[in-house]
Structure 1
């Protein structure tokens, strides 16, 4: 990988105030000052593969400006954090529990991370040659490469909600109880597995329709407000029409906009957040299964148990008993 691609990635470290000693090697970078605290771990298991794990808290909004002159591909998974940015005039929202695949030809942009909250992300950067090589193995006879997918654009992004399989891989990346040498080998295997799964779902399985749907900044804020309302009223959520009225959007704009920003439907997102909240309650050890189900709005414990098992692959009772081993 050329040094210029590393330079592209290092722009993030510079403007987020992460101090690094090496330009292109594995390194843990920390920050602790009046504007925020936390760390960014850069891992380079091989020259053409950069992994960046970020876990920090920003005390106030933070704007990052960047440009990319060398084409590359970024796969970014956001577990926590919010923000909004733009690349060559294309607006990019940052939302929790989403997977974003960016094809970067050339250009510049900016990003504003929301302050007062945690930022937890896992990002993978690869050159175009590696991207095309991976596609050859998963395209299943379809013709696809970086330049065909990008077309005449200088930047394009694919987005979807993170699914359980992806989430499991990301957690395995973040928590690796191995020595340095074994960790690099294991991490490289998990990254390649995550890239393959993400490319398959984002490029070959998703409905491309929402990518052509456009929103104004005001509409984007209303979509975010709709999400906040869902989380605030998780136990007894509004109907779609009521949610549209409260947020100030018609139901078509709400459904299409929500799918574009969060990668799933309105009530698909609600279901995922209910289950995630219930999982946290069970993990705390202070709630029984029925209590956790009722807290997040499930009136039928059997239905809750079935939904939990389908989403996480384990019964809620079993999860509660083994929660000390779950990330």
Structure 2
């Protein structure tokens, strides 16, 4: 259900609603009329505040877990606040420096830099940080094969940026250690400096045109291996999640079932990747609050995500945070925006 426009609320109702949201975000607990009367500076009696809170509850913007507990914003109320009332707070110089930790000389392989930046975002936002990018087309330095028995071998791919990827592959009958060495030497010599897609094209052309002397089991390994690797690399996005432990804070102690639901959701990375894929369209930050997204409906969690672009202007990934609905949107949204800009620079290097 779409929340009412902010313009439909009186000034008094807006002030009281903002006080409830601010108190709930700060403590995670329902906010009572006496608390607002003593701390908000509104110069209203608790009885007057209760009347307005009742009206806001009837509009679906506030709820009360039980009669004497005070009130807290609903998902609908948080949507109204985020879209129409939030006053963003830009990251400080110290926060910006922490979020740029993955950029610069010596930052290492791209995935390592992405992980460092995501971990920094998690620490600053007190949420789980996440980033999803397309599988990066690394350029190969070498390829080797290590036997794991008669039926399997470990393929070791080393890229020019120092990243190492290991994959177990099945072997056809009669594959000898010397054939593994021959295949590795041939591929390293032939494919060094190429991406996997370029390597596949090169291998297919050389084998089809008889440009190589490699034959038998080694030829079969080269032909099958490069096809599997390049296809897998095209289809598999990189999803990095950092800081899940930050979701278990003091405020979560009384709601462990919700936290367990959320941690289970984060284990299903394919579903999380699907959610982030929905945030790729357009340039704006997307905010999914509670039950607005089916994936996190049971855990009562919010997701803030923003796409970022490469040098060619194409969207290359999505960065964001996952946390309780009571997260500090005014602080975290600009933080996600800045991190997206940081990662855009990283991916442009």
TM-score normalized by structure 2?
Answer: 0.23
TM-score between the two structures when normalised by the length of structure 1: 0.24
Task: Point out the structure with the larger strand share.
Answer: 1
Bigger-Rg structure (1/2): 2
Q: Which has the higher helix share?
A: 2
